[in-house]
Copies of this chain bind each other. A is one copy, B any other.
Amino acid sequence: MESPSSNPTPDILVFGSRADRHAVEEGLVFAPKFDEHGLIPAIATDVASGAVLMVAYMNEESLRETLRRGEAVYYSRSRKTLWHKGGSSGHVQVVREILVDCDQDALVLKVDQKGPGCCHVGYTGCFFRGVPFGADLPETTPDNPLPLHLTEAGKAYDPKAVYG
């Protein structure tokens, strides 16, 4: 058996049962729900500004990796593999706090985003466009569908320089 110093995080990480709905909703045991694809949404917010940076998904393995490492590890639905955010770009997300909601079917990660941003197209965060609504809704036609507007002044970095 290894000493605690060489094994800082437990090998076994037991989650709770979801059998008791009241316990899931109000109790103090972690019992995350994974959907039919084995995924739970994880919302990364900037720990300093509170801005929502991105929405990604975790499978059970990536959630356990995130809990152990303290850096965000997601599951890439397109590449069907674990995705250590920033593993190639260096733009890792150091986790400062993890929150779970009442149903325990969604997570919030408050992160210290390293580097200029997290969005693969070059913005600080992925939510760089606004959608008009209410009194601001324009007339739309098939040739003029509902427009978006930029909410960030510009890109924070050149994705080609980072990702090639």
Contact = CB atoms under 8 A, between A and B. Distances in A.
B28 A67 contact: no
Given A67-B133, A126-B102, A28 B120 contact: no
A107 to B, nearest CB: 8
A106 B12 CA distance: 33
Nearest to A125: B101
A95 B41 contact: no
A116 interface: no
A45 interface: yes
Contacts of A134: 9, 67-70, 95
A50 interface: yes
A133 B10 contact: no
Copies of this chain present in the complex amount to: 2
A99 interface: yes
B137 A9 contact: yes
Interface string A88-114: 000000010111111100111000000
Interface of A: 8-10, 12-17, 25-31, 41, 43, 45, 49-52, 54-55, 66-70, 95, 97-103, 106-108, 119-121, 123, 126-135, 137-142, 144-151
Given A99-B129, A102-B123, 6 more contacts: A16-B145, A41-B41, A50-B50, A50-B51, A97-B130, A100-B148
